[in-house]
Amino acid sequence: MARTTVAVLFGGRSSEHSISSATAGGVLGAIDRERFDVIPVGITREGVFVLEQDDPARFALDAAHLPEVVDNGTRILWPSGGGDRTLRVRREDGSVDVLAEIDVALPILHGPHGEDGTMQGFLDVLEIPWAGGGVLDSAIGMDKHFTKIALRSEGIRVAPGFTVRATRWSADAQGVRDEVAALGYPVFVKPARAGSSVGVSKAQDASELDAAMRTALAEDDKVLVETGIVGREIEVAILEGRDGGRPRASQPGEIVLTTRDFYDFEGKYLGGDGVETVCPAALTPEQTETIREIGRRAFEALDGRGLARVDVFLTGDGEVIVNEVNTMPGFTPISMFPQCWIASGMTYAELITELLELGMARAA
């Protein structure tokens, strides 16, 4: 079998740079080297494309030292289009080397400038096939405001709430406070276009709202205020269907909070106490299939491509409320998306291969 050349893109300009870098460490360590040749393309926090080391250990997730892409002096030279897929690198001394012809790119970028459809559009213009989410679903999924609009249009339940833009907060903060009071505390305040729980706060009452708004507005000029839903936090991993079939849904997993208020950045990635991930979740067969079907429907509502993780609340009366649709979910070996597929019978390496095959099949 001919080997396939994969450009793995990671890092990026968003606040989730280190999580993307840690994801790269997992992917570089697990990808099938007998089938795939890998070109690691790092993107610095300033947006510079560099040729990175093919060294999984360099990007290990360590709470004391989060991994990152640094400017090593190299510069990736992208193809000029017109069917050319040849990737080159300019070295520090100015010399230019041909790396390879790219068969498929794997963007594992989180947050703006990568997870929001911009990288997919860039690759599309260059006619380079890519694995993962498409332009439209990535853009909608990155923006929680428009995600809720798309889900509601398909009759999928979402948390009650409203959107606040920075201009309104500056001009009418008291009006926002009054609207939040009418919605009812506690509320979650979250940036519309950020992930990994960056900038998310829980306001238990009016005294905590202003600080929560400042935290969220530091990440984005558009903020969602949502009712705090009481229920179990369930996540289901979705893969695009094969040969025109419907999306595939994994066994659902559960986020179990013990002493932590919500599943924040520290709990997700830094080994913080007070949270456990369980997959498969302890659900009845009926609950499992309901959540899997809502996951499929949510993926379809966004015109999903590649993959997504659909996060829901299962309330005490059996209602399933969608919280978010993540089109580039956490993808480290310990993240929920891979764990749900592992619980469903697919290894981490097989999952990476499946994503790449889906991307190449779509391009073909």
More confident site: 364 or 8: 8
Tell whether 208 is covered by a domain.
yes
Tell whether 11 is covered by a domain.
yes
Cis peptide preceding 40, ω within 30 of 0: no
Assess whether pLDDT exceeds 70 at residue 255: yes
Q: Residue 66 is part of a domain; what is its CATH number?
A: 3.40.50.20
Reported confidence tier of residue 262, pLDDT bands at 50, 70, 90: low
What is the percentage of the chain residues whose pLDDT exceeds 90?
A: 83
Assess whether pLDDT exceeds 70 at residue 245: yes
DSSP state of 78: -
Assess whether pLDDT exceeds 80 at residue 274: no
What count of residues does the chain have?
A: 364
Q: What is the pLDDT of residues 104-132, one digit of tens each?
A: 999 999 988 989 999 999 999 999 999 99
**If you average pLDDT over every residue of the chain, what do you get?**
93
Query: Are the beta carbons of 37 and 131 closer than 8 angstroms?
Result: no
DSSP state of 8: E
Query: Are the beta carbons of 236 and 310 closer than 8 angstroms?
Result: yes
What is the percentage of the chain residues whose pLDDT exceeds 70?
A: 95
Asked if residue 338 and residue 254 are part of one domain, the reply reads yes
Asked if residue 250 and residue 146 are part of one domain, the reply reads yes
Asked if residue 260 and residue 170 are part of one domain, the reply reads no
Number of domains in the chain: 3
Cα 306 from Cα 119, distance rounded (Å):
14
Asked if residue 100 and residue 18 are part of one domain, the reply reads yes
Tell whether 357 is covered by a domain.
no
Asked if residue 201 and residue 106 are part of one domain, the reply reads no
Looking at residue 259, its pLDDT comes to 60
What is the residue range of 76's domain?
Answer: 4-130
Question: Which amino acid, one-letter code, is at 267?
Answer: G
Range with the lowest mean pLDDT among 46-50, 127-131, 234-238, 268-272? 268-272
Asked if residue 238 and residue 217 are part of one domain, the reply reads no
Looking at residue 271, its pLDDT comes to 52
Mean pLDDT of 18-40: 95
Spatial CB neighbours of 350, under 8 Å, sequence gap ≥ 6: none
Q: Among 186, 202, 227, which residue terminates a domain?
A: 227
Tell whether 296 is covered by a domain.
yes
Assess whether pLDDT exceeds 60 at residue 310: yes
Q: Among 130, 149, 179, which residue terminates a domain?
A: 130
Asked if residue 334 and residue 317 are part of one domain, the reply reads yes
Reported confidence tier of residue 272, pLDDT bands at 50, 70, 90: low
Asked if residue 339 and residue 256 are part of one domain, the reply reads yes
| Alpha helices per DSSP H over the chain | 17-30, 118-125, 135-142, 144-153, 166-171, 173-183, 209-217, 265-269, 285-301, 336-343, 348-363
Mean pLDDT of 275-298: 96
Looking at residue 2, its pLDDT comes to 82
Q: Residue 268 is part of a domain; what is its CATH number?
A: 3.30.470.20
Tell whether 14 is covered by a domain.
yes
Looking at residue 260, its pLDDT comes to 47
Asked if residue 115 and residue 19 are part of one domain, the reply reads yes
Tell whether 44 is covered by a domain.
yes
Question: Which amino acid, one-letter code, is at 274?
Answer: G
